[in-house]
Amino acid sequence: MTPVIHRARWIMLEPGNWIENGRIVVQGHRILEVTGGSTITDGLVMDHGNGILLPALVNAHTHVTLSSSAKPHASLGFIPWVERVIRDRNAQPPHEAARTVRESITAMKNSGTGLVGDFGPHVPVADAFEAAHILATVWHESLGNDRDLPPLPESRDNIRYSWAGHAPHTTSPDLLKRIQMADAHLGRRFCFHLAESREETAFLADAAGDWADFMTRMGIDFSGWDCFRKRPVQMALELGLLDRNTLAVHLLEINALEKEKVAQTGTHICLCPRSNWLLHRKLPDIEGFLKLGIQPALGTDSLASVSTLNLFDEMRFIHEHFPGLNPDVILKMGTQNGARALGYLDMGTLQQPQP
- Rounded CA-CA distance 29/107 in Å is 21
- Rounded CA-CA distance 10/23 in Å is 9
β-strands 4-14, 17-27: how paired?
Answer: antiparallel
Check residue 32 and give its pLDDT.
Answer: 87
**Residue 249 pLDDT more than 90?**
yes
- Rounded CA-CA distance 109/64 in Å is 13
**Residue 70 pLDDT more than 70?**
no
Ranges of CATH 3.20.20.140 domains, the chain: 57-342
Check residue 147 and give its pLDDT.
Answer: 86
CATH of domain 57-342: 3.20.20.140
Ranges of CATH 2.30.40.10 domains, the chain: 4-53
| Number of residues in the chain | 355
Check residue 347 and give its pLDDT.
Answer: 92
CATH of domain 4-53: 2.30.40.10
β-strands 44-47, 113-120: how paired?
Answer: unpaired
Which stretch of 78-87, 120-129, 210-219 has the lowest confidence by average pLDDT? 120-129
pTM score, two decimals? 0.95
pLDDT per residue over 103-159, tens digit each?
A: 999 999 999 999 999 998 767 899 999 999 999 999 999 999 988 999 999 888 899
Bigger pLDDT: 121 or 89? 89
- Rounded CA-CA distance 18/257 in Å is 38
* Mean pLDDT for the stretch of residues 226-236: 96
